[in-house]
Structure 1
């Protein structure tokens, strides 16, 4: 585990971040170039090594309900990567990015099929071409599918 000082040095190697001292000797790091209202990239970095990085709804990370990832046990490489991902997530997009759709087939015991599709900002469940339900998060959509007796299809 990296020490507080090591984490602080890694975070401060990103010139886009501005350090702000908060209570109990903790630090926040702000990104003033954020295109969103959210500007804090690193929250509550504590001298005991605990802290959080904001990644919003990036699927690569397991976040809490506020889009934060605990970095207590992160390596230097992991910490650098998550900060880079956060900065990219919060940065203004200068080029057109092709839409990426995540689709997953789900089946029940009767072999009925539903399709889970990410259509920003929603997770939609389709029966054929018909919209069955719509959810704000993937977890909510998957919980619905499981509660209805569906499981992800094997490919």
Structure 2
């Protein structure tokens, strides 16, 4: 089992998380860019080594009624992985999560703040604007060229 200090160092290594000290020596880490009301990624990391990571949308983990995964016995790699997945789950809208499922995907943004999602689905590259399919391409290069022509850059 990792110590409190080791778990703390891992959580602090994610620059997108903000540390929040709470009662009894416990520490939370918030993801302020969350697209949902949920902000806690690491919750009640305790000096005894216990703690939780938000995993409501992570089907590969057992969660409690609050959507939290107990990380008491996690290894360093397991803890880094679940924190990364938790942040990613909180950075997607429900619509985006429904579109990309387990497919590789990239976000592309333009100067006006619009976002498109490029998803590799079944040997094709699809561009989505929200839930709407914007284009389908045979290769990543074709899709990237289209996105560049439309004024989008990888986010």
Q: TM bucket by the smaller chain?
A: 0.5 to 0.7
Kept in 1: contact 2:57–2:89 (CA 8 A): no
Q: For structure 2, which runs of at least 5 residues remain unmatched after alignment?
A: 102-155
Aligned residue pairs, count: 100
Q: Extract structure 1 runs of 4+ deviating beyond 3 A.
A: 92-100
- The runs of 5 or more residues in structure 1 that have no matched partner are 101-155
Counterpart position of 1:98: 99
Q: Which residue matches 1:129?
A: none
1:67-122 Cα offsets, whole Å, 9 max, x none, are 1000011000000000001001000359686365xxxxxxxxxxxxxxxxxxxxxx
Residue in structure 2 matched with residue 24 of structure 1 by the alignment: 24
Tell me the distance in 2 between the aligned counterparts of 1:68 and 1:82.
11
TM-superposed CA distance for 1:57, in Å, is 3.1
TM-score with structure 1 setting the length: 0.60
Q: How does 1:3-152 map to 2 (within 5 A)?
A: 3-92=3-92, 98=99
Distance 2:75 2:97 in 1: 33
Deviations 1:108-151 (A, max 9, x none): xxxxxxxxxxxxxxxxxxxxxxxxxxxxxxxxxxxxxxxxxxxx
RMSD over aligned Cα atoms: 1.9
1-structure distance, mates of 2:80, 2:4: 15
Instruction: Output the CA distance in 2 between the equivalents of 1:13 and 1:98.
Output: 30
Q: Could you give the per-residue CA deviations for residues 1-60 of structure 1, whole angstroms, max 9, x where no partner exists?
A: 100000000010000100000000000000001000000000000000000000113211
Q: Counterparts of 2:21 and 2:55 in 1: how far apart (Å)?
A: 21
SS at match of 1:98: helix
TM superposition score normalised by structure 2:
0.60
Work out the CA distance in 1 between the residues paired with 2:100 and 2:85: 18
